[in-house]
Amino acid sequence: MSQLPTVGHLIGGKIITTGERAQDVFNPATGKAEKRVLLAPKATVEEAIANAQAAFPAWRNTPPLKRARVMGNLKVLLEKHADELCALITAEHGKVLSDALGELQRGIENVEYASYAPELLKGEHSKNVGPAIDSWSEFQALGVTAGITPFNFPAMVPLWMWPMAVACGNTFILKPSERDPSSTLRVAELALEAGLPPGVLNVVNGDKEAVDTLLTDPRVKAVSFVGSTPIAEYIYAEGCKHGKRVQALGGAKNHAVVMPDADVANAVSALMGAAYGSCGERCMAIPLVVAVGDATADAVIEGLKAEIAKMKVGPGTAPGMDMGPLVTKPHFEKVKGYVDQGVKEGATLVVDGRGLKVAGHEEGYYLGPCLFDNVKPGMVIYQEEIFGPVLGVVRVKTLQEAMDMIDAHEYGNGTCIFTRDGEAARYFTDNILVGMVGVNVPLPVPVAYHSFGGWKRSLFGDLHAYGPDAVRFYTKRKTITQRWPSAGVREGAVFSFPSTK
Amino acid sequence: MSQLPTVGHLIGGKIITTGERAQDVFNPATGKAEKRVLLAPKATVEEAIANAQAAFPAWRNTPPLKRARVMGNLKVLLEKHADELCALITAEHGKVLSDALGELQRGIENVEYASYAPELLKGEHSKNVGPAIDSWSEFQALGVTAGITPFNFPAMVPLWMWPMAVACGNTFILKPSERDPSSTLRVAELALEAGLPPGVLNVVNGDKEAVDTLLTDPRVKAVSFVGSTPIAEYIYAEGCKHGKRVQALGGAKNHAVVMPDADVANAVSALMGAAYGSCGERCMAIPLVVAVGDATADAVIEGLKAEIAKMKVGPGTAPGMDMGPLVTKPHFEKVKGYVDQGVKEGATLVVDGRGLKVAGHEEGYYLGPCLFDNVKPGMVIYQEEIFGPVLGVVRVKTLQEAMDMIDAHEYGNGTCIFTRDGEAARYFTDNILVGMVGVNVPLPVPVAYHSFGGWKRSLFGDLHAYGPDAVRFYTKRKTITQRWPSAGVREGAVFSFPSTK
Amino acid sequence: MSQLPTVGHLIGGKIITTGERAQDVFNPATGKAEKRVLLAPKATVEEAIANAQAAFPAWRNTPPLKRARVMGNLKVLLEKHADELCALITAEHGKVLSDALGELQRGIENVEYASYAPELLKGEHSKNVGPAIDSWSEFQALGVTAGITPFNFPAMVPLWMWPMAVACGNTFILKPSERDPSSTLRVAELALEAGLPPGVLNVVNGDKEAVDTLLTDPRVKAVSFVGSTPIAEYIYAEGCKHGKRVQALGGAKNHAVVMPDADVANAVSALMGAAYGSCGERCMAIPLVVAVGDATADAVIEGLKAEIAKMKVGPGTAPGMDMGPLVTKPHFEKVKGYVDQGVKEGATLVVDGRGLKVAGHEEGYYLGPCLFDNVKPGMVIYQEEIFGPVLGVVRVKTLQEAMDMIDAHEYGNGTCIFTRDGEAARYFTDNILVGMVGVNVPLPVPVAYHSFGGWKRSLFGDLHAYGPDAVRFYTKRKTITQRWPSAGVREGAVFSFPSTK
Amino acid sequence: MSQLPTVGHLIGGKIITTGERAQDVFNPATGKAEKRVLLAPKATVEEAIANAQAAFPAWRNTPPLKRARVMGNLKVLLEKHADELCALITAEHGKVLSDALGELQRGIENVEYASYAPELLKGEHSKNVGPAIDSWSEFQALGVTAGITPFNFPAMVPLWMWPMAVACGNTFILKPSERDPSSTLRVAELALEAGLPPGVLNVVNGDKEAVDTLLTDPRVKAVSFVGSTPIAEYIYAEGCKHGKRVQALGGAKNHAVVMPDADVANAVSALMGAAYGSCGERCMAIPLVVAVGDATADAVIEGLKAEIAKMKVGPGTAPGMDMGPLVTKPHFEKVKGYVDQGVKEGATLVVDGRGLKVAGHEEGYYLGPCLFDNVKPGMVIYQEEIFGPVLGVVRVKTLQEAMDMIDAHEYGNGTCIFTRDGEAARYFTDNILVGMVGVNVPLPVPVAYHSFGGWKRSLFGDLHAYGPDAVRFYTKRKTITQRWPSAGVREGAVFSFPSTK
């Protein structure tokens, strides 16, 4: 076991591969441990914080344009190393390579947006707020900031956070998921290559000990988190208790409403990717379809069945695969348990993926696509976030019924409506209590120049992730009010000044 | 006692004057109780929340322009009722009438800014985020929001909060200070007269029971607080623990740096108002002067002594007064105790206001202006917020020494520098760890169209009070991504449509 | 004749009622001259310019907040004087009182927007554009600016221009239409009452001599114009030739497309007001309906006929009127001639309003509503702006045909589409070569916080009228780049400074 | 002669090297013709316009992010080809290589700013402008746009224009200076390599015939120009007469004010580069120093003399040169004539560069640095733009005198003040009638994320070049107002819809 390659930390510009605690990193396509990842003790995290603190003064004084250019360079490097990064993602997360590339591409878009920093950091300047008094605001960096990220997007979610944080002049400690840490770390190395000074971005792998150090250390000024709702809630309460600003993104259970006037073929095609892409391990996945009218429901289910029948499931590295394995053995068991539970609760299992065997990969964590009909609020498979390839169809009579159901759900991350009707779309988008809404777009993940965030228990905090909100999250305003008394320089008394030169 | 007029609550558009618990409201100029204020139990606060919740759907659907116009109307009413409101402020807070008018005027400016809502609520619209896909963001109202405000600005600080909150489409529960509640309530009545629908703004007087109800009730989505740092910290931790967004503004200890090249006469004149105005009961007051060089210090102290000698202290309603009484008897004792403490600690008491008697108002809470020289970090009078007419001079050798001292202090609300030198001002404003910075401006309170907020332990949260930040605090983004599939309407297949009309 | 009241000029805060040239102002409801309006010679215009020039330095230095408050005051006064102003509008323009009130209300909204000036005038501030170098932009006032406005909105169109111009710190010369000058002048008097200093807003009545003086005088820095396209083109070329910035809004011929899936009852109701409101004397009126499909056309025409039959035409001051007279006798003749021409060209005159007589007002300029079917491109009544109560229906087979027709027309001011289909609306709004587009909104006049402007030959210039564009039109950027060399003040060498104090 | 390489056009993605008219391109360092440049006849320009017109529909529909990425790619290519491009600049313009690199770098910054297009093109979205009515604005592309650029910055000034124009979705015709066309054309080739589709950017070399074709062809919607004031004025009047939007930047005569309290050593060092860099052939060069007080003037002149004595003048390609030759023989004669004129007018020629001979480059257009003292308003060398290495010192008694002088000058492009005093700087920057103002910054060229533009006769138009203003110049607003009538889809009547699918 000890011969496995070690995934370490990046602190002060150096890779650190020694440490007392470590755990295995598995390839979900094969079920084999292929690496070990260090778990940082408190002292190691504090060392990272100290490095970040030391790097801060020079970095915050670096002109924004220069900081932005490092992001421009990084973008070029990420494109150049895309194959390498996707291979790392797939080897540890399991998603198919094309999906890994999609993730990376979205991450690159955030790097691009961070490269707009000179524009984004403009303050507001007011002349004559009073007679001969001017006032302006600046967006100043916070100091050391931190991010804690989940396994499902090891490349993208970290890139939601630290590029904007450092483009704003902060330094950063990233604690990625310990299940698939390699691509995250590799991206950080490329950032150094792109010109980021040592200490500006630090990566520590770890578990709760590392997290709690970041939450309590007074040198850390802000924490961004993406993960499950219970942890998000803990992070928010704990970080705030220690006086920090915190944005904590949690779970989701996104409903797609299909209206009777929708283009069903188009909707089905969109739903397939949204439900089963990346095994449903996405906070913007669609695990629930709400069909308005039985005719709509029947048509949607027919369409889905036909499409599911064509799906190819196998190792993410194999050509032509639509879906790879789940991320870990325990997660596989958990998702499978949800399917069992749904059957017990009385939902109709239209397609059962539980028996899937992938030849030559019998130890991989593969679960075939599952489709339930007649899912109902109150069922566990309706209420909880499954994070697996399990799609449920709920039947309702009206749009209003669909909307009441969505609004009553604990989560409010994403949702979408399939319709051709302007009025239905406007009513839905205006009123639904969900932060990201699609109209005929199944995964309404905002582009990098807008911000990402759910409502209700899907996000704790007041500023969303990436985009314009991130600029405010990673800076604090300083407002200056200025008046100049006469020193006689202007009026001519200045001729007595020479002695001071 | 029971014949005293009662200050009650405003809930659902109605004044409520019955309740079990109440406490006296004193006139600090005379030391007499003149009113009683109800202290709302949990049930009353919940009733206010229920009213706010009920008023929300219609109000959030009211076009922003109409909401903004209520603010325009309120501005006119506040100007019309200025004398009445100032009389209420002075009778309960003690500040002189001209100072009350200044406070009211600042409050009105926030009402004006809230009337810009149609401009401030514009979202961002992006065409073609992908082929034929558009995306835009909306700033949607949160629902029920709340504010908890301090005694020192009973008219102004509430107007920092609720006008913008309601202009953004929220409804609001205000819990003002129980020491001087009358002007706050009167302003709320005028808001109804200006056209605010019942239930949109509710005022509950109360104590910790009311506060804790607001912090824990899940219907309250956001809490704004202004007060002392220990309470601000409690509010922030507790509100966040309950999943809310919170901005909590705390204490201050603002330093004014006087440079050797400053216009001393101008600086002294500015410092007098900043130190002793409103008895120093302002979070933007200047209780500390940091003089760079002994010559500067000597000149400043000479100037201050001369100005203090001319000050008139007496009831706020008497003509020509510069300073009124402190707000309460216990606060008077506390401030006086700080002066005693300063003497004990070895600071030089240059002017001693402790013996002041105001003829005919012997029971009023008057303390004359006090001036200390040789104040030093470490002394209690240096570290703690006194909130009284006590100004201390600290002597340093260089600007850097002054800045290190300021940065080491717990608070970072406001600061200013007196200089004629562009470089010194730029270095100071850029680097100092304080949120609001003046250059030759002693009280750099941002104008209403910029935002108010300190750094370090003067503010908990990530968005500042009023101004542009308040728009974000009182709204949440919704991001919509939209694509329209063809329904054949455009291409001409539409001629088969008639049956649906 | 000489006993008729004289409408004069407002120059330097004073009404001037003497002058050599004048012409009659008629009441279109009766055909009688009721006032005379002075026509300013060059010297009088130059006097106005001199007054505006003299008022500029103090006004540009007045804090934006104070300038904005004058607009707030004016808003209150305009609401208070609404009846008086509407009576003046109707007496000279002829439109019904309720329509005059609608116009005034739209004008007031522009006054409100101008009162947001402190927000709108914020420049952009960039820290560290280079090491220790800062840069920011200011929106500085231009100096003397001018506006030339048409008869059809004597209250509203001037309020598109001068409130924002003066809120930005400029002074202004307004030359209103000489056909209905009274309400315009009265509004200007109210502005003085609201606190605008003398000389900041000047009104000169006149004809081409006045216009040419404004276009050529080098002290006038910017000219805004609304009128017909040939004059707009002249104003643009001539003003630009003299080095000024110019925005010149011209004519229109707005098409409303009705799709087969539209709610026809709703569309007909909307079209009635858009076609016949204010006798069609609006640059945003709908004189052309493009019906997609004959069934649509038939249904629309049936609906319009039924509605037209219910219309009441008479003096604008009479209760319950839908439509008043045309503005002048020559205009009446011109519009009637277009109807004759349409018949000659072969369009089908479905409703003929030419024979209308209004009892007791036989000399008034009344023309009943006219409706043509089978209007076609190439006909004079299709190509030219009629500016009268004449609506033509064009029949097409597809939306694309409708759009090609609209795009081929000389004008591109406004247009709208009636449909329920999201895709049709998106395709139409994205591609149509028109500046203001409605979806189920017949008169898509932007609200005051957006900007107004057509495309093609409907607007010459690069910035639209009112709203955010107007802020840029009425200001010029100044960009400052600043670096401070050390004067030793900060480092301590300052102790040698005393001699300079 | 005919063997000289030909610099042709780039039209529709192809280089065209045949044409009837051509003229020589000289190397100013040697005085030898080294290339020939084609001069496009009207037909060739029209062909370019036709290509641009044809490329427009697909390009405007390309998502802004994709257009922006082409700019990102171009930035990388420009950095990669920097040496090649600088060699081309120096070979035709004459400036030293380090200066060519500075120019290129500034141009690259504009390419970077254009790559922010997704952020810059965001429109404004307003919910509920009326009940259930929404409105938003879009920044739509204009179509075919054009730029006409001067010899002095063959790489940079074109990059001020077309990258933003095409990032906004327009297509472009560039007509560079015929004196040094090679680097401009090479940059355009790199843009194709970066992914710009053929026809989106076209380059035509030519003279007045080409210019007039661009000004009159109705397909060209906007023209940007940088050059001398008489031509700028012609371009503005002529383009506007043909209904286009035009921004025309003209000449300059920038004054640097040196105050008695300035850091003279720092000022002198700054002035050297500003006056003699690129032989003074910059519209932001400093040809005039206004010294406040004779002591200041004497110190400045002493400092300049000492620095001039160290300057190295020679071929731009030689290592260590500070200054190269002037651009052409006629320009050399003209500048020399100005020096003769200054002597005749009575200014004191402190340093005379007229006799300079560069060994081995006797035919090059070299003029040594010249320095005048006692220059006065009214002298030709004070009034006119010399565009050569000739610096004049004007002596004044007060800052006000300096400012009155600057404000009275025809031009208002740039200016700067050297002082340590905050008040003097604020008074100067606020009041001076100049568009770009430096405080201790001699060449206050705004960074790429602010806009460039002078006042008075230095710029005709209302929007400045590059930066935020350029986004508005290269787009037109479309404002959409939208309301959706119910189609029954939402309420449930939709179940009768199936027939339409």
pLDDT tens digits, one per residue of B88-121: 999 999 999 999 999 999 999 999 999 999 999 9
Spatial neighbors of D158 by CB under 8 A, at least 6 apart, are D107, D147, D149, D174, D176, D184, D187
User: Is the domain of B213 the same as that of B303?
Assistant: no
> What would the 3-class secondary structure string for C205-224 be?
CCCHHHHHHHHHCCCEEEEE
* D154, two tokens: 């063959």
Final residue before a domain boundary, out of B409, B439, B469: B439
User: Is the domain of A372 the same as that of A465?
Assistant: no
Q: Which of D246, D423, D459, D477 would you mutate first to test chain C, the one with the most C CBs within 10 A?
A: D477
User: Does pLDDT of B494 surpass 60?
Assistant: no
User: Is the domain of C246 the same as that of C263?
Assistant: no
E-strand ranges in A397-474 read 411-412, 414-418, 436-439, 455-456, 459-460
User: Is the domain of D324 the same as that of D401?
Assistant: yes
| D1 within a domain of the structure (yes/no) | no
* D340-361 pLDDT per residue, tens: 999 999 999 999 999 999 999 9
* Phi and psi angles of residue A178, each rounded to the nearest 5 degrees, phi first: -80, -5
Cβ burial, residue A35 (10 Å; 0-12/13-18/19+): buried
Contacts of B136 in chain D (CB under 8 A): 125, 136
User: Is the domain of D386 the same as that of D470?
Assistant: no
**Closest partner CB to B119 (pick from C259, C398, C449):** C449
Position B497 confidence tier, pLDDT thresholds 50, 70, 90: very low
Residue type at D221 in one-letter notation: K
Would you state the pLDDT for residue D116? 98
User: Does pLDDT of D464 surpass 50?
Assistant: yes
User: Is the domain of A74 the same as that of A94?
Assistant: yes
Contacts of C494 in chain B (CB under 8 A): 259-261, 292-293
Would you state the pLDDT for residue B335? 98
* C198, two tokens: 């003398």
| A71 within a domain of the structure (yes/no) | yes
Query: For B302-331, what is the mean pLDDT?
Result: 97
Would you state the pLDDT for residue D177? 98
Among candidate residues D86, D168, D279, D283, the one labeled active-site is D283
User: Is the domain of C121 the same as that of C211?
Assistant: yes
Summary mean pLDDT of chain B: 96
Query: For D111-126, what is the mean pLDDT?
Result: 98
Contacts of B441 in chain D (CB under 8 A): none
Go through chain A and tell me how many residues it has: 501
| D73 within a domain of the structure (yes/no) | yes
Q: Which of B80, B121, B490 would you mutate first to test chain C, the one with the most C CBs within 10 A?
A: B490
Cβ B68 vs Cβ B117: under 8 Å: yes
Query: For B285-314, what is the mean pLDDT?
Result: 97
Final residue before a domain boundary, out of D387, D409, D439: D439
Residues of C carrying an active site annotation: 283
* C136, two tokens: 């920011």
- Rounded Cα–Cα distance for residues D343 and A433 (Å): 79
Q: How far is A109 from chain C (nearest CA, A)?
A: 24
Interchain proximity C126–A129, CB inside 8 Å: no
Would you state the pLDDT for residue D392? 98
User: Does pLDDT of C37 surpass 80?
Assistant: yes
Would you state the pLDDT for residue A112? 98
E-strand ranges in B42-143 read 123-130, 133-141
Contacts of D449 in chain C (CB under 8 A): 126
Q: How much is the pTM? A: 0.96
Q: What is the number of domains present in chain A?
A: 2
Spatial neighbors of C315 by CB under 8 A, at least 6 apart, are C29, C30, C321, C324, C325, C358, C361, C364
User: Is the domain of C194 the same as that of C304?
Assistant: no
Contacts of D486 in chain A (CB under 8 A): 423
- Rounded Cα–Cα distance for residues D127 and A430 (Å): 9
User: Is the domain of D208 the same as that of D290?
Assistant: no
- Tokens 């519209």 label which residue? D283
Task: Give, for C173, the enclosing helix (H) or strand (E).
Answer: strand C171-175
Domain harbouring D379, CATH code: 3.40.309.10
Domain harbouring D18, CATH code: 3.40.605.10
User: Is the domain of A152 the same as that of A187?
Assistant: yes
| A445 within a domain of the structure (yes/no) | no
Task: Give, for B159, the enclosing helix (H) or strand (E).
Answer: helix B156-167
| D191 within a domain of the structure (yes/no) | yes
Q: Any idea what the Cα angle at residue D165 is, between residues D162 and D169, rounded to 5°?
A: 130
**Which of the residues in chain A have pLDDT under 50?**
1, 493-501
Final residue before a domain boundary, out of C382, C407, C439: C439
Closest to A482 measured CA to CA, from A216, A235, A134: A134
Cβ A118 vs Cβ D449: under 8 Å: yes
- Rounded Cα–Cα distance for residues A352 and A355 (Å): 7
Would you state the pLDDT for residue B492? 58
Would you state the pLDDT for residue C1? 46
* Phi and psi angles of residue C93, each rounded to the nearest 5 degrees, phi first: -95, -35
Per-residue CA distances from A252 to A394, A410, A463, B203 (Å): 17, 8, 18, 36
User: Does pLDDT of D53 surpass 90?
Assistant: yes
Longest Cα separation, chain B = 95
A370: annotated active-site residue: no
Cβ C300 vs Cβ C291: under 8 Å: yes
Predicted complex: ipTM over 0.85: yes
Spatial neighbors of B358 by CB under 8 A, at least 6 apart, are B313, B314, B315, B325, B364, B366
* Phi and psi angles of residue C101, each rounded to the nearest 5 degrees, phi first: -65, -40
**Closest partner CB to A138 (pick from C62, C127, C425):** C127
Spatial neighbors of D64 by CB under 8 A, at least 6 apart, are B126, B127, B128, D117, D118, D121, D167, D169
* B107, two tokens: 């409050």
| D283 within a domain of the structure (yes/no) | yes
Cβ A58 vs Cβ A167: under 8 Å: no
Query: For D428-436, what is the mean pLDDT?
Result: 98
Nearest chain D residue to A69 by CA: give it. Answer: D112
Among candidate residues A168, A283, A370, A416, the one labeled active-site is A283
Interchain proximity A481–B451, CB inside 8 Å: no
Closest to B141 measured CA to CA, from B53, B236, B36: B53
Would you state the pLDDT for residue C486? 78
Closest to B174 measured CA to CA, from B165, B164, B162: B162
- Rounded Cα–Cα distance for residues D453 and D449 (Å): 13
Q: How far is A460 from chain B (nearest CA, A)?
A: 6
* Phi and psi angles of residue B225, each rounded to the nearest 5 degrees, phi first: -135, 140
* Chains touching C by CB (3 or more pairs below 8 Å): A, B, D
Task: List residues of C whose CB lies inside 8 A of any A CB.
Answer: 61-65, 118, 121-131, 136-138, 419-423, 425, 439, 487-488, 496-497, 499-500
Contacts of C486 in chain B (CB under 8 A): 423
Interchain proximity C131–A63, CB inside 8 Å: yes
User: Is the domain of B389 the same as that of B285?
Assistant: yes
CA pseudo-torsion sign B395, B398, B402, B407: negative
**Closest partner CB to A63 (pick from C129, C420, C488):** C129
* A262, two tokens: 């929708």
Q: Any idea what the Cα angle at residue A272 is, between residues A269 and A273, rounded to 5°?
A: 100
| A494 within a domain of the structure (yes/no) | no
* D353-392 pLDDT per residue, tens: 999 999 999 999 999 999 999 999 999 999 999 999 999 9
**Closest partner CB to D480 (pick from C133, C429, C483):** C429
* A305-318 pLDDT per residue, tens: 999 999 999 999 99
Residue that wins the pLDDT comparison between B17 and A496: B17
Position B491 confidence tier, pLDDT thresholds 50, 70, 90: low
Would you state the pLDDT for residue B81? 98
Would you state the pLDDT for residue C492? 58
* B367, two tokens: 């303390």
Closest to A266 measured CA to CA, from B132, D403, B439: B132
For chain D, percent of residues with pLDDT exceeding 90: 96
Pairing of strands A459-460, C21-27: unpaired
Residue D382: how many CB atoms within 10 A of its CB?
Answer: 21
- Rounded Cα–Cα distance for residues A13 and C115 (Å): 53
| C55 within a domain of the structure (yes/no) | yes
User: Is the domain of C466 the same as that of C385?
Assistant: no
Q: Is C265 helix (H, G, I), strand (E, B) or coil?
A: helix
Domain that holds residue D323: 255-439
